[in-house]
């Protein structure tokens, strides 16, 4: 199904929007647990259950008088090898309803692809599949613009919600 051109239009992200890594490493912010809890709350509020292999990855935040508000997040993780790939990294993303259609989902997904490519890029013989779990079909054009395709060449349904690409 072909969507109209205006379907891809987005408003710009809110003023001051930035992406903060929320996976634990040497650059972990001091308020890491607060960010992770706020990100998990976004998934809970949207009714999206995270898989047991999905860990915190990125949080999109905007400044407020109290400090910040988490308005989007990505959790992801390696599901392990299969017969086609050495690693299958699957991610889920969510954006607060008040901030949807502002480019936040695109910014988070683009950064996650960049991070995973950087993580796996030093191993040219490593076959890594990056899979996005699509809960909201309105995000499909964003994934397609980033080079993702439906896992079996078909179209999205709640029974077939995955889009993937090699990185």
**pLDDT confidence tier of residue 161, bands split at 50, 70 and 90:** confident
Q: What distance in Å separates the CA atoms of residue 57 and residue 134, rounded to the nearest whole number?
A: 17
- Above 50 in pLDDT, residue 5? no
Query: Rounded to 10 degrees, what is the CA torsion of 82, 108, 67, 77?
Result: 0
In a domain, 59, yes or no: yes
- Here the CATH number for the domain that contains residue 139 is 3.40.630.30
Give yes or no for residue 1 having a pLDDT over 60.
Answer: no
Average pLDDT rounded to a whole number, residues 85-91: 88
Q: What percent of the chain clears pLDDT 70, i.e. is strictly above it?
A: 87
Q: Which of 4-8, 51-55, 78-82 has the lowest mean pLDDT?
A: 4-8
pLDDT of residue 86: 86
Averaged pLDDT of the chain:
85
pLDDT tens-digit map of 125-147: 778 889 998 888 888 999 999 99
pLDDT value at 122 more than 70: no
Q: List C-alpha distances in Å: 41 to 44, 60, 85, 94.
A: 5, 13, 32, 10
69 three-class SS: strand
Residue 48 lies in a domain: yes
In a domain, 10, yes or no: no
54 domain-assigned: yes
Specify if 6 maps to a domain.
no
pLDDT score recorded for residue 121: 67
Structurally, the chain folds into a number of domains equal to 1
pLDDT digits (tens, 9 = 90+) for 9-35: 556 778 889 999 888 666 666 778 888
Rounded CA-CA distance 61/104 in Å is 9
Q: Is residue 2 part of a domain?
A: no
Token duo for residue 59? 């949080």
- Domain span holding position 109: 17-166
Residue scoring higher pLDDT (155 or 106): 106
| 7 within a domain of the structure (yes/no) | no
Residue 51, pLDDT > 60, answer yes
Task: Give whole-number Cα distances, 5 to 77, 150, 165, in Å.
Answer: 33, 20, 23
Residue 25 lies in a domain: yes
């Amino acid at each position: 199904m072909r969507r109209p051109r205006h379907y891809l239009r987005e408003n710009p992200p809110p003023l001051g929007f930035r992406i903060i890594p929320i996976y634990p490493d040497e650059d972990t912010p001091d308020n890491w647990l607060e960010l992770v809890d706020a990100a998990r709350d976004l998934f809970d509020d949207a009714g999206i259950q995270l898989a047991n292999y999905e860990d915190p990855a990125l949080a999109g935040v905007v400044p407020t008088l109290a400090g910040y508000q988490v308005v989007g997040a990505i959790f992801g993780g390696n599901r392990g090898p299969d017969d086609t790939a050495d690693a299958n990294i699957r991610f889920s993303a969510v954006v607060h309803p008040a901030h949807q259609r502002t480019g936040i989902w695109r910014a988070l997904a683009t950064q996650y692809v960049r991070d995973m490519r950087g993580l796996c890029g030093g191993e040219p013989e490593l076959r890594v599949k990056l899979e996005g779990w699509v809960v909201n079909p309105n995000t499909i054009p964003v994934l397609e613009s980033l080079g993702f395709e439906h896992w079996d060449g078909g179209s999205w349904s709640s029974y077939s919600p995955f889009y993937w690409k090699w990185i």
